Each structure stands twice: as C-alpha cells, then as structure tokens.
Amino acid sequence: MIRFDKEAPGGGVDAYTVLENGKAEIYFTVYLVEEGEGQSAVTVEITMIDPKGKEAARMRLQPMRGGTSAESLWTEPLTTRTLLIYPQLWQSVNNPFLYRVKAHIIAGDTVMDAKEFPYPICSMRNIPDKGFFLNQKSFTLHAVQYSLTKDWRKYLEKDLDLLVELGANCLCPDRFPKDSMFYEKCLEKGMIIWKLISEHPAMPKFWGGDKPLVSEDRLRRQDLFYYYQACWSNREVLHICNHEKTPRLGTTASAVVYSNHKKVALYVNGVLQEFKQTPPEFLFEDIPVKGEHTVVSVQAGDCFASVTWL
C-alpha cells in the first residue's frame, strides 16, 4: 500500500510560494512510502480550494515505481508546480485568507491515502537593517513570547483570541511542536510564527515570568496587557492600572492610565481634576483621597472607566 510519508516535510506534502508581479508560483513536493503488497500504478492528485469552495488549481502526478517486484523503492520525491494569477494573499490578522490543499493517492477507483491542510499564499522575509517584509511590503511585527506546556492544546484557541484582542500579529514560541494543529490554528487567526528574536529582550511574554500579559489560568488580563493593546490595537483602550495598596484617607495618590486616545480626562468623585495628553501612558498625580469612598474616573472620547478607593 502506498501512502504519504508522515515523517517527511509537510507530513508528506510540502509546499512553498514565490510571489512576483501579481502571480503566485506554488511548488509542491510529495513524499511517498510503501507498506505491504506493492501497487503498480497510482496517481497523486492535488487540488487547491478557495474559502468559497471554488477550485483554484488541480495537479496530477503519476509516480514511477522503482525496484523489482520484491523490492519497491520510492526514494525520489515527486515535484510539481502551479501558477495562480492575482491570488488572494494571506495578510496576517488584517486578512488571514487561506486556501485548502487536498491531496489524494488514487489506485483505480480506490483512494489509498489522503491529506488536507490550510495553505496561505504569502511570502515572509526578515532583511537585516531593513526589517520584516510580508508579501514584499514592509510589515511591523507585534511579537509576543509564548511558552508551550504539555497542555497547550487546552488553551490555544483562547490564547489566540486574546492575542488578536491585544493587537499582536506574531507569536514566538519557545519550542515548535510537531502537531500541525498548532500551526493551522495560528494561520486561521492571522498569527505569524517566527523564531524567538533574541535581540529584543523586552518582547512581552504572554504568560509566566515577572511581567506576563495574562494570568496563568487566562482569567485575568494584567495591566501590561492593556499597555501593549494601547500601543498595537485599533480597538479603543482605556484602562486604569490596579493599585497594590488602597490610598489612606486625607492623603494624595497617583494613578496610571493606559489608552490609545490622544487625551484623557480625570475626575475625582465626579469633579474634573485635569487633562493629560501623553499616550499610551497617562500618569495622574496628587489625586486627593476624600471621604469613605473616593471614585476616580477617566474619560476619553466616548470611553469611561473608574475605580473606587475605600
């Protein structure tokens, strides 16, 4: 029986793209293995399907069986290519457009093995002294360090939703799992997977360490989450950082606010205190602590947030 070599690159079907002048050349490499009784004639069929279910390309290969009847040798991988004119490009979180590749090994009317996976048509390059390029255009990476534990599958979808909310577009894992599900889920959310960028030690860590973005159980967004969200996201952000200690009555205190608005107003018990214009970090000082309850409110555009000091 002939099947795809699951231990080979791409799990038996590997692909890469070359973009040029509105065209995408897509090169496929197919790796086969044979088990048990030999099969004299098979066809490998590869199709590309767009998200609407429309066939974008089809390729057929007829591998030649080497060796003798007692010895079947499939030592050479199969290669083929296709050309798409003005394809839909995968553009990270802005437009994570994915084709699907379907590959079948067919003998007569029998499908002997099948493989299906999402495929982004895109190009990525990191050019020294010039930066990162996605689809041949300069692209700013909003990268986050990501630690994978044994139970990473339990948290992956929730984590990716939080990363999109954060405004991140690049995930730098501390290891690269063999499970293709990790990469497929990241592609679907528009996350670029890149090696850990050692020259950027200040890159935030998603969880763990001294200054994580979220709690280990993923139930709380930490203050630092909102700082990077204010820097990266197009969503309106207005967050008052938590105080470690409640200020004492009759004293003054300070408050740190993270926002991507240009101007933030601060109110104390409903009375306007002052404006600040220092995004993404607004530091308000000398806030009077009055009465049993001091309500500190901030306003930016149509956004409001408040904390109560008891």
245 within some domain:
yes
Same domain, 73 and 16: yes
The last residue of a domain, from among 119, 148, 182: 119
pLDDT of residue 68: 42
Same domain, 223 and 161: yes
Reported confidence tier of residue 40, pLDDT bands at 50, 70, 90: low
Asked if 251 and 289 count as a contact pair (C-beta separation under 8 A), the reply is yes
The pLDDT mean for the chain works out to 89
Specify the higher pLDDT residue, 209 or 47: 47
**pLDDT digit string, tens, across residues 106-117:** 988 899 999 999
Beta-bridged to residue 240, according to DSSP, are 257
Same domain, 169 and 225: yes
The last residue of a domain, from among 52, 85, 119: 119
pLDDT of residue 67: 46
45 within some domain:
yes
43 within some domain:
yes
Task: Provide the Cα torsion 273, 278, 283, 286; round to 10°.
Answer: -40
Same domain, 6 and 110: yes
Same domain, 76 and 174: no
Same domain, 95 and 165: no
**Percentage of the chain exceeding pLDDT 70:** 92
* Number of C-beta neighbours around residue 217 at 10 A: 8
Same domain, 160 and 223: yes
The last residue of a domain, from among 68, 86, 119: 119
pLDDT of 37 above 70: no
Reported confidence tier of residue 129, pLDDT bands at 50, 70, 90: confident
CATH number of the domain encompassing residue 262:
2.60.40.10
18 within some domain:
yes
pLDDT of 132 above 60: yes
Please give the full DSSP string across 243-264, using - where no structure is assigned.
PSSPPPTTSEEEEEEEESSS-E
pLDDT of residue 197: 63
pLDDT of 167 above 80: yes
Instruction: For residue 259, give its domain range.
Output: 238-309
pLDDT of 164 above 90: yes
pTM across the whole model: 0.86
Same domain, 62 and 159: no
Same domain, 6 and 114: yes
190 within some domain:
yes
276 membership: H or E segment, kind and range: strand 271-276
Name the pairing type of β-strands 264-268 and 294-300: antiparallel
122's CB contacts (< 8 A; 6+ apart) are 17, 19, 89, 90, 91, 134, 135
Same domain, 196 and 261: no
pLDDT of residue 66: 52
> With left for phi above 0 and alpha for psi between -120 and 50, is residue 280 left, alpha or beta?
alpha
pLDDT of 172 above 70: yes
Same domain, 216 and 276: no
* Number of C-beta neighbours around residue 246 at 10 A: 13
134 within some domain:
no
pLDDT of residue 45: 96
Same domain, 115 and 14: yes
Number of domains the chain is built from: 3
**pLDDT digit string, tens, across residues 223-272:** 999 999 999 999 999 999 976 666 777 788 899 999 999 999 999 999 99
Reported confidence tier of residue 200, pLDDT bands at 50, 70, 90: low
161 within some domain:
yes
pLDDT of 155 above 90: yes
pLDDT of 12 above 90: yes
Q: String of b and e for 31-70 (b: at least 16 CB within 10 Å)?
A: bbbbeeeebeebebebbbbbeeeeebbebebebebeeeee
pLDDT of 196 above 80: no
Cα-to-chain-centroid distance, residue 185: 8
131 within some domain:
no
Asked if 144 and 213 count as a contact pair (C-beta separation under 8 A), the reply is yes
What span, in angstroms and rounded, lies between the C-alpha atoms of 59 and 28? Answer: 10
Average pLDDT over residues 204-214: 92
pLDDT of 199 above 60: no
Reported confidence tier of residue 284, pLDDT bands at 50, 70, 90: very high
